Amino acid sequence: MGLKLFLKTAFSRLWLVVLLSVAAALCVGLFTAGLSVPQFESTMKIMIAGAEGEGFSTSVFDEIRSAQLIGADFSEIITSHSVLSSVINDTGLKGDVDTLKELIQVQQIQDTRILVITVTYTTQEKAMEIIDSLQRNFKAKLAAMGSPQSFMIVDEPMVHIKPNGSYYILYILLAAFGGMVLGITLNFILDEFIKRIDSVDITERLLGIQVIGVIPNSTLHRSDKNDK
Amino acid sequence: MTNNHVSKKNSNSLVQFEFETDVQEAYHFLRGNISFYERNNPLKTICVVSHSRCEGKTAVAMNLAVSFANCGQKTLFIDSDLRKPVYEKRLGSTDKGLATILFRNDDPNESILNAQVEKLFYLPCGRDVENTYEMLSSSRFRDVLDRLSKEYDKIIIDTPALSNVIDGYEIASVTDGAIIVIRNRFPETQRLVNMVKQLKMANVNIIGAVLNKVPMNEYRRKYTWYHDDWQVSRKKKASAV
């Protein structure tokens, strides 16, 4: 099958391809815009601080290495069962610790002692409440553990809506593309199964010859009948 | 110029029938397209073929012949279906025809009839014969066509259905071009594809296809925008007056 014939068959029912593409894009667009729940993110930055009057280490490299290790420790403590249980008790969240853990993300900024804590939730107030409770309970946990390290708040908790615009457009484009592929596939299937010569386009495409005339059925009665 | 066209149902004459404007225009388009085609490939002898019977091949062939004749071209319509003559019965018994020309070496001019349209002539198929394929594939048939080509501007040949007998392919291969008549909503596409392949294998110059028996409302909806526009504007003018 040549490219020309392939394209001709693929878009033989252009209305079908366009219809399916638009319908798929509309469905996905409406679903993502109207039915999906908006997500809010509250973030705060904390800096790991050593015990009063103590540095972390003697050399810069050792200091960085120590910061990485302490950062990893802090991440584990923040998302520990005891801290999260306390957060659930404070905020009255429904669900268990594992569910809450999925909403919390702790990241250490490279070569620093700064941790970024992010809480994602469906309401702005609750996201703020969780992150506040988290830092309080974390601080209490460190104190309870008698840890020589503490933390300082670099950025107070802030809430913003989770950006998902790029995904939104991507989903619509993907849906439109999927609709187009479906339309083209249907064109091939229809051409395979419904082989009936009923238009100039189909005649030319299937037979590979040009149509030079289309003759309609006459609806008149014979004139000689009247003559008689 | 007259606008007489032929109905296959017409019982006792070739040309008595008046079509509505759409049908006449459709034949004008067909003739026009053939004329455009002729600018690059001159066509003296044109055969009209179809896959099976009842596709309207004979009516298309005859009306095309009428259309050429109406244009002032001296046209000969040949009924070459030696096995099943179509117009033979309607015109009464005509012993003389293509069969006798080929079988008995008769003079073609003795068999050619006037078809009641100016500049249109008709060569019936003649009496029934058995060895039709041998006759049509003989050099005699080509000689007859060559001779008639010198006397007429256009020769339109109505052939037997290609699915039934080989005669149609034989005739098509010795003409300048073939027109394939296809009935609208013809379901057996693969057979048509095979027929086109077979025609190409026989070195037939396929001029193009004619989609026949399209329902009038479908034809007007799909193919006659200009005509619709013209009718609307005419109605508007009439209502304004």
At residue B91, the pLDDT reads 55
Q: Is A58 helix (H, G, I), strand (E, B) or coil?
A: coil
Q: How far apart are CA B79 and CA B125, in angstroms?
A: 5
> Which residues numbered 90-129 in B keep a CB inside 8 Å of some CB on A?
none
Q: How far apart are CA B56 and CA B119, in angstroms?
A: 23
A75-84, A219-228, B129-138, range with the lowest pLDDT: A219-228
Contact, B88 vs B11, CB < 8 A?
Answer: no
Section A57-66 average pLDDT: 69
Question: Tell me, what amino acid is at B217?
Answer: N
Cβ contact, residue pair B211, A222, below 8 Å? no
What's the distance, CA A98 to chain centroid?
A: 22
**Residue A219 to chain B, least CA–CA distance (Å):** 7
Contact, B219 vs A214, CB < 8 A?
Answer: yes
* Complete edge-to-edge strand list for the sheet that includes strand A40-49: A104-108, A114-121, A40-49, A150-161
Of B190, B211, B215, the CB nearest to A203: B211
The tens digit of pLDDT for each residue in A163-179 reads 555 577 888 899 999 99
Section B61-83 average pLDDT: 88
Q: Which residue of A has its CA nearest to B195?
A: A207
Cβ contact, residue pair A215, B23, below 8 Å? yes
* Complete edge-to-edge strand list for the sheet that includes strand A211-216: A211-216, B206-214, B177-183, B45-50, B154-158, B75-79, B120-123, B113-114
Contact, B49 vs B159, CB < 8 A?
Answer: yes
User: Does residue A222 register a pLDDT over 50?
Assistant: no
What's the distance, CA A8 to chain centroid?
A: 35
Contact, B57 vs B158, CB < 8 A?
Answer: yes
User: Does residue A223 register a pLDDT over 60?
Assistant: no
Phi, psi of B238 (to 5 degrees): -65, -40
Question: Which range is most confident: A13-17, B79-83, B106-110?
Answer: A13-17
Token couple for B92? 């009464």
**Mutate which of A191, A214, A221, A228 to disrupt the B interface (most B C-beta within 10 Å)?**
A214
Q: Which residue of B has its CA nearest to A198?
A: B185
At residue A181, the pLDDT reads 94
Nearest alpha-carbon partner for B61 in B19, B127, B6, B124: B6
A110-119, A163-172, B165-174, B175-184, range with the lowest pLDDT: A163-172
> Which residues numbered 157-186 in B keep a CB inside 8 Å of some CB on A?
179-180, 182-186
Give the confidence band of A20 by pLDDT, cuts at 50, 70, 90. Answer: very high
**Burial profile A27-66: b = 16 or more Cβ within 10 angstroms, e = fewer:** ebbeebeeeeeeebbbbbbbbbebeeeeebeeeeeebbeb
Nearest alpha-carbon partner for B156 in B74, B236, B55: B74
Cβ contact, residue pair A212, B192, below 8 Å? no
Q: How far is CA B70 from CA A114, A118, B14, B65, B166, in A?
A: 96, 88, 14, 9, 32
Domains of chain A from N-terminus onward: 3-34+166-212 (no CATH), 39-162 (3.30.70.1130)
In chain A, how many H helices and how many E strands?
9, 5
User: Does residue A141 register a pLDDT over 50?
Assistant: yes
Return mean pLDDT, chain B: 80
At residue B46, the pLDDT reads 94
Please list every residue in chain A whose beta carbon sits closer than 8 Å to the beta carbon of residue B186: 196-197
A–B: how many Cβ contacts below 8 A?
Answer: 120
Q: ipTM greater than 0.90, yes or no?
A: no
User: Does residue A13 register a pLDDT over 90?
Assistant: no
The tens digit of pLDDT for each residue in B207-235 reads 999 999 888 877 877 777 555 555 555 55
DSSP A8: H
DSSP H helical segments within A36-94, as ranges? Answer: 60-78, 81-91
User: Does residue A228 register a pLDDT over 60?
Assistant: no
Contact, B44 vs B156, CB < 8 A?
Answer: no
Return mean pLDDT, chain A: 81
The tens digit of pLDDT for each residue in B103-112 reads 887 888 888 8
Q: Is the dihedral of CA B11, B16, B22, B24 positive or negative?
A: positive
User: Does residue B93 register a pLDDT over 80?
Assistant: no
The tens digit of pLDDT for each residue in B22-52 reads 788 888 889 999 999 888 888 899 999 999 8
User: Does residue B4 register a pLDDT over 60?
Assistant: no
Contact, B133 vs B107, CB < 8 A?
Answer: no
Token couple for B112? 């050619």
Q: Which residue of B has its CA nearest to A202?
A: B189
Contact, B30 vs B87, CB < 8 A?
Answer: no
Give the confidence band of A17 by pLDDT, cuts at 50, 70, 90. Answer: very high
Q: Which residue of B has its CA nearest to A217?
A: B213
Residue A108 has a CB neighbour count (10 Å cut-off) of 18
Q: How far is CA B176 from CA A7, A186, B19, B41, B124, in A?
A: 33, 40, 29, 9, 21
Return the H-helix or E-strand segment holding B238. helix B225-240
At residue A161, the pLDDT reads 72
Which residues on chain A place their C-beta less than 8 Å from a C-beta of chain B?
A: 195-200, 203-204, 206-220, 222-224, 227
Token couple for A184? 């083209």
